[in-house]
């Protein structure tokens, strides 16, 4: 894994992809209501608020820390906000969504650094830091901002603490399940075809090696 990360090839295309994800995410959250009603409308609203808040938070962190905000950073922040609000979208209100978005921007931003710089894992699209950490964070924060006492749609007979325990149990169960199955799949792939391309193949480019063509002939 390189000590210095390469600059993004095409930030404009990244932003276009993020914009399509942003619009499509309404299908994840609002569409899950299976009706065109107030619940779907609120899910769409909180989804939008969280994505915008996370994108803005990510931009501020980059601006304050590095002197310049980046388009790819803003796009990544928006996706972090979308991933984090998904578990909570049917249970929180606008204020909860705003705070979840801010939390997503902060936590996912720093987890990207942990994955790449501390763990030296080549996660080019920041999938774990954004979707994995963001999803877990949103699941846990649902217990807080989804509480009926804070204007959420949670069960009034449950306290924030008891609901948090339930949410934490769910996160741990998913982590163990996906971790074990991923390990099994990785070992199978490693035994059959291998996990890494050779140094020569990486230098030549996987598009050429696999498909006999390049994405761009310049």
Q: What is the structure's pLDDT at 179?
A: 95
Q: What is the structure's pLDDT at 56?
A: 98
Listed in sequence order, the residues at least 6 apart from 62 whose beta carbon sits closer than 8 Å to its beta carbon are: 68, 69, 70, 73, 109
Query: Number of structural domains, the chain?
Result: 2
Q: Are residues 121 and 169 in the same domain?
A: no
Q: Are residues 61 and 97 in the same domain?
A: yes
For tokens 């924030």, the residue is 160
Question: In the structure, how many helices (H) and strands (E) does the chain have?
Answer: 9, 0
pLDDT 10s digits, 168-184 = 999 999 999 999 999 99
**158, 178, 210 — which closes off a domain?**
158
Element (H, E) at 173: helix 160-192
CA 20 to chain CA centroid, Å, is 15
Note down the domain range covering 210.
159-218
Rounded to whole angstroms, the maximal C-alpha distance in the chain is: 64
How far is residue 39 from each of residues 193, 197, 214, measured CA to CA in Å? 47, 48, 46
User: For every one of its 218 residues, what pLDDT tens digit does the chain have, with 9 covering 90 and above?
Assistant: 456 667 888 899 999 999 999 999 999 899 887 778 888 999 999 999 999 999 999 999 999 999 999 999 999 999 999 999 999 998 999 999 999 999 999 999 999 989 888 888 878 788 999 999 999 999 999 999 988 777 777 777 778 888 899 999 999 999 999 999 999 999 999 999 888 888 888 888 888 888 988 887 77
Tokens of 109: 């931003």
The rounded distance, in Å, linking the Cα atoms of 212 and 216 is 12
Listed in sequence order, the residues at least 6 apart from 135 whose beta carbon sits closer than 8 Å to its beta carbon are: 83, 84, 86, 87
Q: What is the structure's pLDDT at 3?
A: 60
Q: Are residues 144 and 167 in the same domain?
A: no
* Structural domain contains residue 16: yes
Contact 47, 30 (CB under 8 A): yes
Q: Are residues 152 and 215 in the same domain?
A: no
Q: What is the structure's pLDDT at 1?
A: 46
How far is residue 30 from each of residues 16, 138, 189, measured CA to CA in Å? 22, 16, 37
Q: Are residues 135 and 30 in the same domain?
A: yes
């Amino acid at each position: 894994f390189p000590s210095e990360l390469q600059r993004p090839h095409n930030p404009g295309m990244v932003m276009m992809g993020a914009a399509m994800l942003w619009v499509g995410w309404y299908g994840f959250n609002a569409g899950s209501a299976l009706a065109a009603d107030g619940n779907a409308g609120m899910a769409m609203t909180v989804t939008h608020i969280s994505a915008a808040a996370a994108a803005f938070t990510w931009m501020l962190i980059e601006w304050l820390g590095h002197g310049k905000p980046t388009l790819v950073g803003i796009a990544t922040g928006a996706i972090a906000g979308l991933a984090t609000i998904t578990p909570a979208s049917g249970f929180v209100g606008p204020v909860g969504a705003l705070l979840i978005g801010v939390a997503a921007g902060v936590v996912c931003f720093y987890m990207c650094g942990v994955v790449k710089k501390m763990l030296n894992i080549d996660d080019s699209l920041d999938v774990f830091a954004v979707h994995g950490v963001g999803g877990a964070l949103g699941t846990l924060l649902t217990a807080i901002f989804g509480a009926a006492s804070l204007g959420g749609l949670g069960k009034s007979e449950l306290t924030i603490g008891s609901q948090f325990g339930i949410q934490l149990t769910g996160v741990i169960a998913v982590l163990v399940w996906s971790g074990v199955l991923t390990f099994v799949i990785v070992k199978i792939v490693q035994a059959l075809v291998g996990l890494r391309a050779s140094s020569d193949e990486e230098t030549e480019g996987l598009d050429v090696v696999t498909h006999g063509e390049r994405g761009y002939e310049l």
